[in-house]
């Protein structure tokens, strides 16, 4: 290889979140995965790397076996190098080492069984790098991974040095690291094909090293057909075919596999990368205020011309900050970790494959974070996590039963939680003075009715305010990346951006619109008793489980007037879709979950949910006023800004003259036709 030639190491990563809608997967395949493979199949000399996440790969084999046969043929003829990863696409840095090994090994075996190729390289989810992941990767036979060139610049390297691989080590294991070119990430496929090819050729001409020079690309395949405008650009207008033809026609570019390049070339030396991810992620991990300050600083740096040379010193947050930013993410994560520890503690004879699969599915990354993509804000992704958490917990309880009542600080926030369960239901009460439920599980339905999201200020709110600065329009040839677009999928008003004053929990109580403060008074294996007391009155609140019922009773005493109110936020899978409806007196349909409702005098209402295949019946011992409304949050995604229904918000209101009130939540499984 001469100094005027360059190896193109081209790789793409295909992933869909665990629990994503089947129609989304079908659309992604038809607009992206299938046409991409079909185009590449026609050019066997164009060698490339490919990573399909395990859950997506299973779906494709089940529904598109012909396309997977095509891929298998491309692997067998030596065109495709398969990359490994964790089976369910976890962020390896945030799961226990035992699960890292289990996840990586599970996926590597799957690739070997289905395609006859065991991976030597691995894709790191969201390019989240922590050196602690090195031992697990190496112990599973992984020899190299790819991360962004930004990671290397944060360690002091210059762009000119990043045209090969480097070596790192941790706990006596060595691993090689390839730096993905940020410029190529932005050019492919958004720049015209001939410009992208010319840029790759220029990398060879400008190289100052005597070692084999590589242009390194590995990015989301969804940019080749799913992102806005890309299907027309990549396939209908022929960008992908033009790019491949341009590469193969170039005397300076040689498409190669990572494993071939790795086997023939030498490391560029030792390196130790800091804990980081890609540049955009480092902004998203920060709370809104610091994120906006960070974005302003980046904007100033670009405007004054010094950003490109100094961006490694403008480092934002790290991926784990999402657990600090979002209590809901942290709660899911710590619940998952506790179940992982329980599973690991079982005798080997009790550790079933079904339990392991549930654990790994609960570690899928998407629902734990939010940036450009919906992630945590998408109820169906969180629901997939909880489906697996709740089912796994039930299976673990069958093997190693827990006490019916216990207290611990699950999420490590300095506030303990009280757990009450009877193998049918589980109520988890946060002992923060509100005596409200942060989790309410139905084991038969594998569902957490407390899976809601508290609205908080987001870093992108500043872009959708009425006085927001207009984002400059895309200029030049090609098309704009999703990072450079502002689109609105729904009309959004200032009221939609208001933050919630308290967690969106179940049974958050107030007296005359003043929140009640409780302390834990007593408990046994089936009930918890709380007391709220001031100079004028006292309220005794008792939570009790009985079979498939949660019973919440209130006893008021003292000299006070007005009304009591409790707010119940319920995660119902149908959200504002057609499958959810309010039903009165077992037969009268009042409307859907997306509607507002105010019943002046009632003792019962049912929430039937086709997606859940179950219902929740609320009944009261005396007549109350019941108000219901959908609870929305504003999310961003690659498709634009949108309002997403997170929960049903119920308010039960009764006069203090009703000194005692008993509220019953009864959970029932019920089959509904779509």
* CATH number (domain holding residue 557): 2.70.98.10
Final residue before a domain boundary, out of 246, 278, 310: 278
Buried b (16+ CB within 10 A) or exposed e, 534-558: eeeeebbbbbbbeebbbbbbbebee
Question: Which residues are marked as active site?
Answer: 126, 220
For residue 100, is it within any domain? Answer: yes
Q: 293-323, pLDDT tens digit by residue?
A: 988 898 899 999 998 888 888 888 999 999 9
Name the percent of the chain lying above pLDDT 90. Answer: 83
Please state, in angstroms and rounded to a whole number, the distance separating the CA atoms of residues 326 and 533.
Answer: 32
Using the predicted structure, report yes or no on whether residue 348 has a pLDDT greater than 50: yes
Final residue before a domain boundary, out of 252, 278, 304: 278
**pLDDT of res. 466:** 58
Using the predicted structure, report yes or no on whether residue 605 has a pLDDT greater than 90: yes
**pLDDT of res. 463:** 80
Q: How many residues does the chain have?
A: 674
Please state, in angstroms and rounded to a whole number, the distance separating the CA atoms of residues 616 and 444.
Answer: 13
- Start-to-end CA span in the chain (Å): 61
Using the predicted structure, report yes or no on whether residue 61 has a pLDDT greater than 70: yes
**pLDDT of res. 226:** 93
For residue 541, is it within any domain? Answer: yes
What average pLDDT does this structure show over 396-424?
A: 97
DSSP 593: T
For residue 359, is it within any domain? Answer: no
Q: Is residue 406 within 8 Å of residue 413, measured between CB atoms? A: no
Identify the domain containing residue 634 by its residue range.
459-471+485-669
Q: Sorting pLDDT into bands at 50, 70 and 90, what band is 1? A: very low
**pLDDT of res. 307:** 87
C-beta atoms surrounding 357 within 10 Å: 15
For residue 128, is it within any domain? Answer: yes
Q: By C-alpha distance, which of 68, 77, 13 is closest to 44?
A: 77
For residue 1, is it within any domain? Answer: no
Q: Is residue 115 within 8 Å of residue 82, measured between CB atoms? A: yes
For residue 593, is it within any domain? Answer: yes
CATH code of the domain containing 178: 3.20.110.20
**pLDDT of res. 480:** 53
Q: Any idea what the Cα angle at residue 50 is, between residues 46 and 51, rounded to 5°? A: 175
Final residue before a domain boundary, out of 239, 256, 278: 278
> Regarding predicted confidence, which is higher, 12 or 308?
12
**pLDDT of res. 618:** 98
Burial class (CB in 10 A: 0-12, 13-18, 19+), 384: buried
For residue 603, is it within any domain? Answer: yes
- DSSP string for 401-424: PPPSEEEE-TT-SS--EEEEE-SS
What average pLDDT does this structure show over 569-579?
A: 96
Q: 142-173, pLDDT tens digit by residue?
A: 999 999 999 999 999 999 999 999 999 999 99
Please state, in angstroms and rounded to a whole number, the distance separating the CA atoms of residues 444 and 646.
Answer: 22
Q: Sorting pLDDT into bands at 50, 70 and 90, what band is 210? A: low
Which H/E stretch holds residue 302?
Answer: helix 288-303
Domain tally, the chain: 2
C-beta atoms surrounding 184 within 10 Å: 21
For residue 579, is it within any domain? Answer: yes
């Amino acid at each position: 290889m001469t100094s005027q030639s360059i190896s193109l190491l081209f790789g793409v990563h295909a992933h869909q979140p665990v629990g994503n809608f089947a129609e989304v997967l079908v659309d992604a395949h038809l607009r992206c995965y299938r046409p991409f493979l079909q185009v590449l199949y026609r050019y066997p000399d164009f060698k490339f790397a490919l990573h399909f996440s395990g859950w997506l790969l299973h779906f494709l084999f089940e529904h598109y076996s012909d396309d997977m046969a095509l891929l298998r043929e491309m692997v067998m003829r030596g065109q495709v190098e398969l990359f490994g990863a964790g089976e369910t696409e976890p962020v390896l840095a945030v799961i226990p080492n035992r699960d890292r090994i289990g996840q990586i090994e599970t996926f590597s075996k799957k690739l070997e069984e289905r395609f006859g190729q065991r991976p030597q390289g691995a894709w790191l989810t969201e390019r989240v790098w922590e050196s602690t992941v090195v031992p697990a990767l190496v112990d599973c036979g992984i020899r190299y991974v790819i991360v962004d060139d930004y990671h290397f610049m944060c360690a002091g390297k210059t762009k000119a040095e990043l045209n090969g691989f480097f070596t790192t080590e941790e706990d006596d294991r060595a691993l090689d690291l390839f730096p993905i070119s940020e410029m190529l990430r932005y050019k492919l496929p958004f720049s015209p094909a001939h410009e992208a090819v010319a840029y790759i050729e220029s990398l060879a001409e400008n190289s100052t090293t005597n070692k084999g020079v590589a242009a390194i690309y590995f990015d989301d395949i969804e940019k080749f057909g799913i992102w806005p405008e890309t299907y027309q650009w990549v396939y209908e207008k022929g960008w992908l075919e033009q790019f491949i033809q341009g590469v193969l026609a170039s005397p300076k570019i040689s498409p190669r596999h990572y494993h071939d390049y790795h086997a023939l070339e030498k490391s560029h030396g030792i390196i130790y990368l800091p804990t980081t991810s890609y540049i955009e992620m480092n902004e998203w991990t920060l709370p809104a205020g610091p994120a906006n300050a960070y974005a302003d600083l980046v904007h100033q740096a670009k405007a004054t011309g010094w950003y490109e040379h100094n961006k490694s010193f403008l480092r934002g947050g790290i991926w784990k900050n999402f657990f600090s930013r979002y209590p809901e993410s942290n709660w899911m994560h710590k619940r998952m970790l506790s179940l992982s520890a329980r599973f690991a503690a079982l005798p080997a004879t009790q550790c079933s494959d079904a339990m392991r699969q549930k654990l790994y599915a609960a570690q899928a990354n998407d629902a734990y974070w939010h940036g450009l993509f919906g992630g945590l804000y998408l109820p169906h992704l969180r629901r997939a996590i909880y489906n697996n958490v709740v089912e796994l917990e039930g299976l673990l309880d069958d093997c190693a039963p827990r006490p019916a009542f216990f207290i611990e600080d699950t999420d490590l926030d300095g506030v303990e939680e009280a757990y009450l369960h009877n193998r049918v239901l589980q109520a988890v009460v946060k002992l923060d003075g509100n005596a409200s439920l942060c989790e309410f599980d139905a084991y038969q339905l594998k569902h957490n009715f407390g899976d809601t999201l508290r609205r908080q200020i987001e870093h992108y709110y500043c872009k959708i305010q009425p006085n927001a600065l207009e984002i400059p329009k895309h200029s030049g040839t090609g098309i704009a990346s999703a990072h450079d677009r502002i689109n609105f999928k729904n009309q959004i008003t200032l009221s939609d951006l208001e933050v919630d004053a308290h967690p969106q929990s179940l049974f958050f109580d107030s007296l005359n619109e003043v929140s009640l403060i409780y302390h834990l008074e007593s408990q046994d294996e089936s009930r918890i008793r709380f007391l709220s007391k001031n100079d004028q009155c006292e309220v005794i609140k008792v939570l009790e489980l009985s079979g498939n019922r949660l019973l919440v009773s209130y006893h008021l005493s003292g000299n006070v007037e007005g009304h009591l109110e409790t707010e119940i936020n319920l995660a119902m899978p149908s959200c504002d879709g057609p499958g959810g409806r309010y039903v009165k007196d077992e037969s009268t349909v009042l409307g859907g979950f997306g509607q507002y409702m105010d019943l002046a005098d009632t003792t019962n209402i049912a929430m039937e949910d086709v997606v859940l295949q179950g219902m929740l019946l609320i009944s009261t011992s005396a007549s109350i006023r019941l108000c219901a409304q959908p609870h929305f949050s504003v999310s961003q995604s690659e498709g634009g800004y949108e309002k997403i229904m997170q929960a049903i918000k119920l308010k039960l209101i009764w006069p203090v003259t009703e000194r005692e009130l008993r509220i019953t939540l009864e959970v029932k499984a019920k089959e509904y036709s779509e």
